[in-house]
Amino acid sequence: MKGAVKYFLKRWRNIGNGRETGSTESFCNLQREQENGSVLKTHSPAEFNRLQQQCSSRSEDFDTLEEYIVESKCPQINIATLLIVILLIVVFIVLPIVYLLHCFGLLNSHWPADEFNRVLTDHSHSDPRKDRVYNFDTSYANQNYIKSVYKPKEYASHKDGPKHLGALKLSPPPKPTIDQCTRVSDSLRFDCYPEEGANEKSCANRGCCWAKPNYTTDEPIDDQLNIPYCYYPLQFKGYKFVNVSETSFGSTAYLKRTFSSSYPKDARLLKMDVKYESQKRLRIKIYDPEHTRFEPPFPEVPVVEKAASNPDYRVFIDESQLGFKLSAILPSHHIYGLEESRFWLALMTIWQRFTPFNSDQRPRENVFNSVNIGGFVFADQFLQLSALLPSQFIYGLGEHRSSLKLSTSWQIFTMMNHDQVPSENTNLYGSHPFYLVMEKSGNSHGVFLLNSNAMDVILQPTPAITFRTIGGILDLYFFLGPTPSDVVAQYTDVIGKPFMPPFWGLGFHLCRFGYKTLTETKEVWNRTRAAGIPLDVQWNDLDYMAHSSDFTYNQTTYAGLPQFVNLLHQVGMHYVPLIDPGISAAEPAGTYPPYDEGLKLGIFVKNSSGQPFIGKVWNPIDTVWPDFTHPKTVDYWLDQLKSMHDKFQFDGAWIDMNEPSNFWSGSTRGCENNSLDYPPYTPGVLGGKLFFRTLCMNSEQHAGKHYDVHNLYGFTEAIVTSFVMSEIRERRPFVISRSTFSGHGHYAGHWSGDIASTWYDMKRSVPEILNFNMFGIPLVGADICGFNGNTTPALCQRWSELGAFYPFSRNHNSEENIPQDPVALGPAVVQAARKSLLTRYSLLPFLYTLFWRAHVDGTTVARPLFFQFPLDNLTYEIDYEFLWGSDLLIVPVLEEEGFILKGRCRKLLSSFVYKILFSCSQNATQVSTYLPQSLWYDFYTSTLVSHGGKNVTLDAPLDTIPLLVRGGSILPMQEPSATTTMTRKNNLYLLAAVDELGVAAGELYWDDGDSLNSYEESLYILLKFNLSGAQLSGSSAHWGYPGVLTLGKVTVLGVKQPVTSVFINQAATGFSYDTINKSGLFYRTVKDIIWRWDIRKEAKTLAYYHPILAHDSETWIWKKRLQAAEMSILRVIENETRRDRIRDGLEERVKRKRFLWLGHEWSIERLRKPYRTKRRVEDLLEEDGPSVGGQGGDRRDRQEWKMCQKPAEFLTVENLSVQLSEPFTLHWEFNVDFLVRMINSGLINRHTTQDSEYLLIMLYPSWWLPMTVMP
C-alpha cells in the first residue's frame, strides 16, 4: 500500500512540476485557459487524439479501492492505515478526478451514446404560447388562371452590388471545448468548411471542430471520403432569440447575431414569421427586416393573412435554444395494439364507421428539427440551414440524374440551371428545391424552399438535410400530407396546379435534329403513317430556320413549309417548331426585325455598363437574350411569334436552350472580377464557376441581377410563351421547355434533354418522369430511343414500348446519329411502336382524365408505387415500374439480357465477366417485378396475374410491354385510330376490373380537347362509373359539353361465375364469357382457417381484406375509399392473457354490434386452445393439405382442403349503343343452384411482409357471391 501511495504522490508531483508534458492535467489546464480567453497551445492531430483519449480514460482508471488493490496486488493493511489511505485517496485521487470531470464538462451531464440526439430533440418544456391554435379563416389565391393575382410591388436584388448588412463589428466565434467536439458522432457532423482548402487552423478560426472521422469497415468508400473533417460543435449558436410574439397568422420571432459566421456581411438581426396557412400547410420565412433582399417574383404564391384553425401540426420554439421543431399530428385515428398497458384488440366496422374503442390521435415523428443544429448562417451571399429528418426515404431535389430514392451518403445536390448532357452528380436544366419524405409510419410530408439563387442541398446519413444558398432569403413551406399524393397536391396549391394540355398533345410526336430539308421531313412523316403507326405532331428542330435565327424559315431548304403545315391540319395533325430564346445580334440594321425591335424597346438582358449582353449560341456570330421579366417583353414576344404564325400556322412552341445556354462562359472576355461572378462560396456547379457556359451573374434584368434570377429565366420564358400562344391561337397553349423551376407545370411541359441512346439512360428516364410529376409537371417525357449516340433496334424496340407510356411521348435524336424513327430501324421496331402506341391511343380517355385531375386537384399522372401503397415499404425504392393514376401499372423491360442479375449478385461479377456469361442471352422476353397487395389483371389477356404482395415474373414478348390493371378500377377507353382527332370520333368502351370484394369504380372527363378554360367555364362532361355485385352503372356528375358520347363495349374482369344472361337498361343483350387460362388455388371453410390459425409463436394477423385497409408492422391506418359491408381486423398473439382479452372483447362486441362471422361461439372457444405446432404458414397451402401436428390436431380437417381450377374469367358485352348523356345500368345473372352450394366458402391468399407473414381470408355475404366466389 505504501508503494502505491508513494507512486501516486510521485506521479502527482511530476504533474505539478510540468515534467509530464502533454499530460491530462496540463492539457485540461490549457483547455481551461482557452475558456478564460487565453491562447490555446497548438497540438498536432495525433497528439490531440492521444490527449483526448487520456482525458476520457483518466476518470475510469480506478473506480474502487478494491480494484486498485487487486490490480497492484497490494498486501492487507490495518484499520489505521486504511483510514490514512482513504484520506490520501480523497485528497490525491477523488478531488483531482472531480476536477477533471468539471474541466471536461462531465460533472453534471449524462453521456449516453445518443446524448446528442437527446439534446437536440428533447424539449418537453417548450413555451406554451407556441402551441396555441388560432381560430381564423384561411384565404387562398386562385391558381387556375394565367392572370396574376399577386405580385411584389418592387424587386430587391444586387443591382448596386451587395449591401452591407449592418455596421456592427461582430466578435469571432468562440473556440469549442473538447466535450463539444467529441460528443458529435460521424453521422451528425455538419460541414463547417464546405469550400476547398480546409485545414485544422482554418477550421479552428471558424470556431469548429477538426477531427478525422471514426471510419468503420462496412462504410462505403464514398461515404468515408465525404464525411467532413471540419464540423460544427455541439450547441453552436450563431444567433439567439430575442423576442417571440403571437400574431394573427401565427407567431413572429426575432434573432440576433451573437458572433461572426466567417462569411462576409452577416445579418445582425433576423425576423422569422411562422404562418399557419392551412390545416396542412405551414410557412416559415426567415429574412433580414432591416435590409430588403431579393425574393422570387414567380411562382405567384397565395397570400394568407390569418392563421388556420386547428392545424395538423405544431411548431415548437424554445427561446433558450436556437432553431425550431415541427411535428405533425395524425389526422386519423391511430389503432394501437402492441402496447402492454393498453387493451390491444383493434376492431372497426367500416360500414357503420364507428371509432375503434382503443384508438387515439398521436403525433408523428418530428418532420423538421433544426434545434441546436450547428451552422445556421445568414450572410449576404451565404445562407445555411440544417435539420434532422425522420427518415432516409427522401425524394425530389431536382433536376438531377439519380435513382428515385435519393442517396443520403453525404450526397450534394447542386441547383443552378445549366445546359449539360444528363449525368450523375451535376446540376442539370432545372431547379426544384422541393423534397418529399416517406416516414416510417407510412405517412409523408414535403418541404419547399422558395429561393431562386444557386444552392447546394446536402443529405447525410443521420438522416439530415442542409440547405446552402448564396442569396435571397430562407422561405420554407411545409406540407403535412399525410399521403404522398396529398403532399404533391398541397405543393401545387402554392406553386400552381398543372395546366390542362390539349388532347392532341397526348398523341405521338416525331422529331429530329437533322431534317436538312422539308423533303426529308415529309419522307419520314409519310413512311411513319404508311406503317400504321399512330402519329399526331410533326416537329422541326432549328434546321427549318434561316441562319439559325428565330422567327424565320429557310426559303430554300424549307420552301413550302406553310403548305405542309396546312396539310397536317387537313388530316387532323399538328406542327411544333423550335424557338430558342437567343436572338441573332449580327445582322445589319433594318434586316432582322426581332433584333431591331428588341433594341428599340430595351428588353434585352444588359451587361454591367447598360448595353445588351452579347454571347453566342446557334446564331452565326453574336447572340442577345430577351429579358422575360421585363413587362415590355410580353408585347415583343407576342409580336414576333404572331409574325411567325402569319407565315405558317404552328400549333405549339418548343423552347430550348433557355437555362440560358451560352457557348461562351460569359462574354467574349469572360466576366468581370466581382462578388457576384466570384462569390465567397460557389456551389458545386459544373465548370466551377457560376457563369460557366451561361451569362455573367452581374448582368442586369428588370427583376434584378442575373445572379438572383438565373434559375427563373426558362420559367419566365415559359410563362410569356404560354400566354402569347393562347393569345395567337385562342386555343389551349402547348409549350415544351427544357429549363424549369418550381411552378413551371402551371404553364408548360418538359422533356429530359439530351440523353444518350443507351440502356442505362432509358432506365434512368423512369425516375426522371416520376420526379417531375412530383414537381407538379405531369406533361413530361424523354427522347424515345435517346438523343446522343446511335441507338440499336433492340434498344429502340423496348424504348418505343416504354415511351408510349411517357405522359409526353416523342421520338427525337441528334443530326450526328443514324435516323431512329421506327421505320428506319426495321420491322421489329415498327411492330413494337405500332402496338404500344395503339394501346396508348386506346387509353387516351383515361390519360386525359388523369391530366384533368392533375389540373384540378394537383395530383400526379405518372406516379411511383409508394404513392398508391404508402404502407408497403417494399415499394419505397422501386423506380423501374410506375403507375398511370392508381390503376394501370406499366412494367417496362429495361435490360437487354434475358437473364438479369440484380443487387449484390450482379455486383459480385465484374462488368467484363457479366458480359461474357450472358452475351448469348439477350432480347429479354420476361421481366421480374414486385406487385403490392391487390388484385392485378393482365391488360392484354384479361387474366388474373396475382393477388400481390410478392415478386412475380411476367411474360414480355419483344413487341409487348407488360401492363397490369389493378382490381377495383374502371378504365374509360376508346377504339384507337391513326390520330387523336380520328380517335375522338370513335365509341367509348369500359374496362372494369373487380377487386377482392367484387367492386370497382372509375370516371371520365371529356371536353372539346382544345378550348381555353373548358373546366373553369363548365364546358365539360364528367361521368362516374360504379360496379358492385353483378351490376355496372354509369351517370353524369356534370354535363356541360354539347358533344355526343356513345358507349359501345364493356369488359368486366374477374367475373367468377358462368353468366347466363346480360341486360342493358333492362333489355337483354348479347355477351361472351371467357373461361380460358385456368390457375390453381386452394380454398376451405372459414371455421377451419380460424381453427388452424395460431400456428407460430410470434404475432399473426387475421384480416378480412378490403382495398381501403393497409398494414404495416405496428399500425393499422384506415382511409375510406369505397363504402363496403361489415368487416373486422383481429391481431392474434400467442399469449394466454391477451387471448383472454380477445375472447372477452369479442363477447362484449357480439352483445353490442352485429358481426357476420366473428361472433360465432366456436371462434371464441378455439382461441382458448391454439395449436402448438411449429409448421410454417406455407404448409397450409400445400396441394395435399397441411400435415396436422401439435396439440389439438384433427386429421379429419385434412379432407376439407380442396384444390380447384380457378378460371381467369371475364365478361364482354359488345355492339352497344348507349348514349352516356343518360344514366345506364348493365347487369348479369347466374345459375342460382350453383350459388347455394357456394355459401360459406372462402378464398385463401398468403401475404408476406418484412417482419410478418399472414393469410388474407376473403369472406363474402350472399349478395357478393356472384362476383367473388369461385366455383
Just list the catalytic residues. Answer: 656, 659
**Distance of alpha carbon 76 from alpha carbon 62, whole angstroms:** 18
**Distance of alpha carbon 416 from alpha carbon 204, whole angstroms:** 31
Q: Which residues pair with 1039 in a beta bridge?
A: 1021
To which H or E segment does residue 1080 belong?
strand 1078-1083
1245 phi and psi angles, rounded to 5 deg: -140, 140
**Distance of alpha carbon 1129 from alpha carbon 1137, whole angstroms:** 19
What is the bridge-based pairing of β-strands 1031-1039 and 1224-1229? antiparallel
Pair 411, 294: CB distance under 8 Å: no
Neighbouring CB atoms inside 10 A of 1184's CB total 8
User: Can you give the three-state secondary structure of 815-849, one letter per residue?
Assistant: CCCCCCCHHHHCHHHHHHHHHHHHHHHHCHHHHHH
* Cell, residue 986: 370513335
CA terminus-to-terminus distance, the chain = 92
Using DSSP, state whether 407 is helix, strand or coil: coil
Q: Which residues pair with 234 in a beta bridge?
A: none
707: nearest Cα among 155, 61, 13: 155
**Distance of alpha carbon 500 from alpha carbon 492, whole angstroms:** 14
Place of cell 418522369: 769
Q: How far out from the chain centre does Cα 28 lie?
A: 49
Q: Phi-psi category of 432—alpha, beta or left, where left has phi over 0 and alpha has psi -120 to 50?
A: beta
Half-sphere exposure of 949 (CA within 13 A, CB side): 18
Question: Nearest-5° angle of CA 861, CA 866, CA 870?
Answer: 120
Pair 491, 481: CB distance under 8 Å: no
Q: Which residues pair with 704 in a beta bridge?
A: 701
In our burial notation (b when 16+ CB lie closer than 10 A, e otherwise), range 40-73 reads eeebeeeebeebbeebbebbeebeebeebbeeee
In our burial notation (b when 16+ CB lie closer than 10 A, e otherwise), range 999-1011 reads bbbbbbbbbbbbb
CA dihedral 876, 882, 886, 889 (to 10 degrees): -120
**Distance of alpha carbon 717 from alpha carbon 497, whole angstroms:** 18
**Distance of alpha carbon 870 from alpha carbon 443, whole angstroms:** 7
10 Å CB burial of residue 882 (0-12, 13-18, 19+) is: buried
Q: What is residue 278's DSSP assignment?
A: S
**Distance of alpha carbon 790 from alpha carbon 810, whole angstroms:** 17
**Distance of alpha carbon 598 from alpha carbon 581, whole angstroms:** 12
Q: What is residue 191's DSSP assignment?
A: B
